[in-house]
Structure 1
Amino acid sequence: MDSIADMGGMQGFGPVPAPEADEPPFAETWEGRAFALTVLTMGRISGQNLDAFRHALGRLHPLDYLSDGYYGRWLNAAELMLTDSRILAPGAVDARVRRNRGEDVTEPPLPEPRRPDYAPTAAGSLREVDDPPRFAAGDTVRTRDLHPTGPTKLPLYLRRRTGTVAALRPAHVLPDTHAVFEGENAQHVYTVSFRSRDLWGPEAEDFTLHAELFESYLEPDS
C-alpha cells in the first residue's frame, strides 16, 4: 500500500536536522516507556512481528503519523497491533482516556483474542533459498510498478526506475507477506545502484543511491 510512511524523496518537509552532541537515547522519559511497551506488544502480547509493526505504522492516519512524533507513532502502532489481535477493543484507549478525564463513558467490551497462528521457521529474518539468484553484479535492472493493497518495501521514488546490481546479499524473509502472516516467502536480496538524477531529475544533486531490493521487485531492463 502507498502510505504516509513512504516519505522518502518527498519535498516540502524541510531539512533534516543535524544530530545533537551527546544526544540521550530518549529525549523524554515517556519515550523509553513507549519503546518498551511497543517491543513487548509486538511479540509476547499480540503475537505480531517486526514487519507487522512496520505495516501498522503505514496504516496510521496521516494526520496522526505527522503530528504525534516518532514515539507517538510507536504507541499508535502498538495500539493498532493489539486491536488487530483483539487484545483491545476498537476505541478502548480513547474511552479510558475520557473516563480518566471524568467523562461518563462506557468502555467497549473486550473481544475474543485472535492472535496470529504463526511461528517463524528459524530465528531472525535471514533464510536459505534453493533457487539460484536471477541477477548478478553488473546487471541492469528495472524496478516494477507496484501498488499493492498490502505492505511493500519498494519505495515510491524507486518504482519504474533503472539501476545496476552492485552486490548480492543474503536471502531474507519477504516483508510484504510476512507482515500479514501469508508466509515468509524468502527471496534473494540485491544492492541496486541508482543515479540521483534518474530519480529526481537533472536539477538534483549528483550522487549514487544504493537500495537493498528483493528479487520480486526487479525485472531485466529491456
Structure 2
Amino acid sequence: MMQQNRRGQLGEILVRNGVISPEQLEHAIKAKMASNKRLGDILVELGYVTPEQIIQHVYAQLAERIQKVLVPMVSFKEKMADFYMASADSFTEHARIWRLLAAAARAQAEDIRSLIKAIYLQPDLFTVNMIFTTESVDTILHGVLNTIERVKSGSLTHNQSLYLARDVENSMLVSRLPDVLTTNDAEWRKRFMQQKQELFHHRKVIADAIAGLKK
C-alpha cells in the first residue's frame, strides 16, 4: 500500500535514512490522499520532519543526480543544435531540414532546464533514474564536438552528416532520455509523451532526407 501511493522518492529516502518511520510515512500518505497538499508539506505539518531535513536528505541526492544526468544532457542537446546549424550553413541546399532539427534540439534543452527547475520545486513528484552515466554522455558529447569541427572544415559530406544525425537520434542516450524521469503527475506524464512523439518525428525527418539521397 505504501509503495503504491508513494509519489516520487521523498518518502523512501526519509525512511531509508532513518528520518521517519514506515508508519509515519503511511500516516502522511493517508493525510495526503485527503488533501491537495504535497507529501513534503504534510510531513512538516505533522512534525515528522523539518524543512531543513528535507533539504539535507532529499535535495542533496536530487542535486547529485541532476548534475550527473540532466545537466550534461542540456549541454548535449545544445551541441547537437550547434551541429545541425553548422550543417545548415555548410549544406545550404538542405538548410531547412537542418534548421528545423536545430530548433528542436534547442527547445529540448530548454525543456530539460524546465524539468530541473520543477524537480527542485517539487521533489516529491519525480524520481531521477540513473539510466546512463556522466561518462557516457561526455563521450558522445566529445564526438558531437568533433563532428561540428569536421562539418565546419569541410571534411564531412552532407550524406555523412545525415547518417551521423540518424545514428545519434537513434542512440540509447537519446532514445531513453524520456525515461530518465518518472512521475505520477498527469501533466508531466503528458509532456514526457509529447517528447517521445517529437523524437519519432525527428527520426522520420532524417530518415526521409536519407531516403531522398538514394533516389
Q: TM-score range by the shorter chain?
A: under 0.3
TM-score, reference length from structure 1: 0.24
Question: Greater strand share, 1 or 2?
Answer: 1
**Greater RCO (CA < 8 Å, at least 6 residues apart):** 2
Question: Greater helix share, 1 or 2?
Answer: 2
TM-score, reference length from structure 2: 0.24
